[in-house]
């Protein structure tokens, strides 16, 4: 087991193992990382907390990993050799797939974790393909063998049939109880290779993550591919051609620990007194400033944002704070794009691009928590490709910028190829859901006698509106979804506008298929009626496509009882009072403003639920 004294003795490069844990969401990656740290002596009794590497409050509350985390452990094997283990814990949700690909670039092997009760699921396969593309050694690990519903033999059979790996050497563990962890550690040092890196070569390091620290500026997490990095070296960031002196090198074990140097094959952090967040770009190559022409290392594939939404501060005075917060947040989450945007209803804000709906929720929550902002998010949209009558092509991700129907020759929408894995008992409801979302069935494969993989081509615009929640609902949580981005396909789409009291609310506009526009418009009007408070006058809520009103509902006026003091008497007196009240309300309606509450913008996300 490791001690502080042992930590100072760095093992030779042949005794370094860099690996990450990949799995479907909720298969026990973070808990397994906890047990590995515990068994190598990194976590004492006082440090033990569930999912120790999930540092953000939002990760602990949701029980998911959002940001990949790196940690160094020292392990004394059965033969007495001390090994240095560089572990990276990765997310499992499809929205955070880019975090997995970044982590794999820093590793020489992976632990593929499969839930003994759930078996192989969609994201298991997606992550395996990423590891195979990176040509990494894979050790299958079957977790949760302590569960009463665990079926180890079935999990091994699924690994062999669906993944194509030999499961005879799979390590069976329970990350919860610690059973099998020692065997797993031995397998890591036995089967995973040492890094293929040259400590005597020119300095080259790949940035796999970076984040902002209020006291130390930008901190970069790097994998040293060749050479040795140490304090006081002047280095050059190749993407921006900026030069900085290294102030400090170190590792996370699991808290930051300063080291004299980082050698080839190691994963650690660099602090270079960088004050501008764009200078440390994830995927960039760091070399010595004195090196002449160096070829950059292959970085990461540029992520494509698929879902777009407007984010506005509820208080217009927070606009500058929101801009600064986005600059710092996007430093270590380069998958978010942002640009300024204005709205008649909401004022000044930003248009953000996300990888998916969960990603959007997480970013909004992080902005509100970490930077103390109060935000409104508009309805999500995707990138539509519009061909105008004059032949020009335009990409539109904001319904407010959607051109008039008369100026449009053709509209195309992005498609996805979705792979849904589920027990065959729920095949009927899932097929029905996909058909309702304008899906086209591509394939239906029996992976085992009871488990099916359903492949559908689906419009991305249909998936961003509650598809994932409905999929889980109609399969009782057993279905899992993974998808790849497909091509653009021609579609009959229209812009649906919401009008409150005759005024168009641009922030609540959305793009929908013409066949669904009436139902979407009706549902939107009903949702808004629940959210908009009653006024002293009647408020009309209308859904419109172009100049045509397709749905309407009315928020009834608050009515003061003007007849309270009339105890009988002539009926004409009562009628006179009511007519006077009616005229007053009519006059108020002409000049009165309706304030749209924040909940109305969130309600649009639940249209299909």
Binding residues for GTP: 26-31, 143-146
Burial of 257 (0-12, 13-18, 19+ CB in 10 A): middle
Closest to 399 measured CA to CA, from 339, 329, 309, 328: 309
Check the CA dihedral 207-208-211-215 and report its sign.
negative
Q: Where is the binding site, in residues?
A: 26-31, 143-146
Sheet containing strand 307-313, strands side by side: 337-343, 347-354, 307-313, 375-377
d(CA 282, CA 130): 18
CB 596 within 8 A of CB 548: no
Listed in sequence order, the residues at least 6 apart from 265 whose beta carbon sits closer than 8 Å to its beta carbon are 13, 16, 18, 194, 195, 196, 197, 199, 224
User: 156-175 b/e with 16+ CB inside 10 Å = b?
Assistant: bebbeebbebebeebbbbbb
Q: Answer for the pair 313, 373: CB distance below 8 angstroms, yes or no.
A: yes
3-state secondary structure of 24: coil
The whole-angstrom separation of Cα 502 and Cα 494 is 20
In which residue are the tokens 């809520």 written?
A: 541
Strand pairing report for 234-237 and 307-313: unpaired
Residues 6+ apart with CB under 8 A from 44: none
Tokens representing 478 are 């057993």
């Amino acid at each position: 087991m490791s001690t502080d004294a042992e930590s100072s003795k760095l093992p030779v490069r042949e005794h370094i193992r860099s690996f990450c844990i990949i799995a479907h969401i909720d298969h026990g990656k973070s808990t397994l990382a906890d047990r590995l740290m515990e068994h190598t002596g990194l976590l004492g009794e006082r440090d033990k907390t569930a999912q120790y590497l999930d540092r953000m409050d939002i990760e602990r509350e949701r029980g998911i990993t959002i940001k990949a985390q790196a940690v160094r452990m020292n392990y004394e094997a059965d033969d007495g050799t001390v090994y240095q283990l560089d572990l990276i814990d990765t997310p499992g949700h499809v929205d955070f797939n880019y975090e997995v690909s970044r982590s794999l670039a820093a590793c020489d092997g992976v632990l593929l974790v499969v839930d003994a009760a759930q078996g192989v699921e969609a994201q298991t396969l997606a992550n395996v393909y990423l590891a195979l593309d990176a040509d990494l050694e894979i050790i299958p690990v079957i977790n949760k063998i302590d569960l009463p519903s665990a079926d180890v033999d079935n999990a091994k059979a699924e690994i062999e049939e669906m993944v194509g790996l030999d499961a005879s050497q799979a390590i069976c563990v329970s990350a919860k109880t610690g059973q099998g962890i020692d065997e797993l550690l031995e397998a890591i040092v036995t089967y995973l290779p040492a890094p293929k890196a040259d400590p005597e070569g020119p300095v080259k390091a790949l940035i796999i993550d970076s984040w902002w620290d209020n006291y130390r500026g930008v901190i970069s997490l790097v994998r040293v591919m060749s050479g040795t990095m140490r304090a006081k070296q002047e280095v050059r960031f190749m993407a921006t051609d900026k030069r900085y002196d290294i102030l400090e090198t170190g590792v996370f074990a699991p808290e930051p620990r300063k080291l004299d140097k980082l050698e080839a094959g190691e994963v650690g952090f660099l602090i270079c007194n960088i004050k501008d967040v764009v200078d440390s770009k994830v995927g960039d190559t760091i070399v010595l400033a004195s090196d002449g022409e160096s070829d950059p290392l292959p970085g990461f594939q540029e992520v494509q944002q698929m879902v777009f939404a407007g984010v506005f501060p509820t208080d217009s005075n927070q606009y500058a704070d929101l801009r600064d917060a986005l600059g710092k947040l996007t430093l270590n989450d380069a998958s978010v794009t942002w640009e300024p945007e204005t709205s008649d209803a909401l004022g000044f804000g930003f248009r953000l691009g996300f990888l998916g709906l969960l990603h959007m929720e997480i970013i909004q929550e992080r902005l509100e928590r970490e930077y103390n902002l109060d935000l409104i998010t508009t309805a999500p949209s995707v990138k539509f490709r519009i061909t105008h009558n004059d032949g020009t092509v335009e990409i539109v991700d904001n319904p407010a910028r959607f051109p008039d129907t008369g100026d449009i020759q053709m509209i195309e929408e992005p498609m996805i190829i979705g792979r849904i894995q589920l027990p065959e008992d729920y095949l009927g409801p899932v097929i029905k859901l996909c058909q309702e979302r304008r899906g086209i069935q591509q394939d239906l494969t029996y992976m085992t006698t009871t488990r099916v993989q359903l492949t559908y081509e689906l419009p991305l615009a249909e998936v961003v509106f509650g598809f994932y929640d409905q999929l889980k609902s109609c399969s009782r949580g057993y279905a899992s979804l993974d998808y790849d981005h497909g091509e653009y396909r021609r579609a009959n789409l229209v812009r649906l506008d919401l009008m409150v009291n005759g005024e168009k609310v641009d922030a609540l506009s959305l793009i929908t298929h013409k066949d669904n526009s009436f139902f979407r418009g009706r549902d939107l009007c009903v949702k808004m009626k629940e959210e908009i408070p009653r006024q002293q006058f009647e408020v009309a809520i209308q859904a419109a496509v172009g100049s045509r009103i397709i749905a309407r509902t009315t928020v009834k006026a608050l009515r003061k009882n003007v007849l309270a003091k009339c105890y009988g008497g002539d009926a004409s007196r009562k009628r006179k009072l009511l007519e006077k009240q009616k005229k007053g309300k009519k006059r108020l309606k002409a000049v009165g403003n309706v304030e749209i509450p924040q909940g109305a913008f969130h309600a649009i996300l639940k249209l299909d639920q």
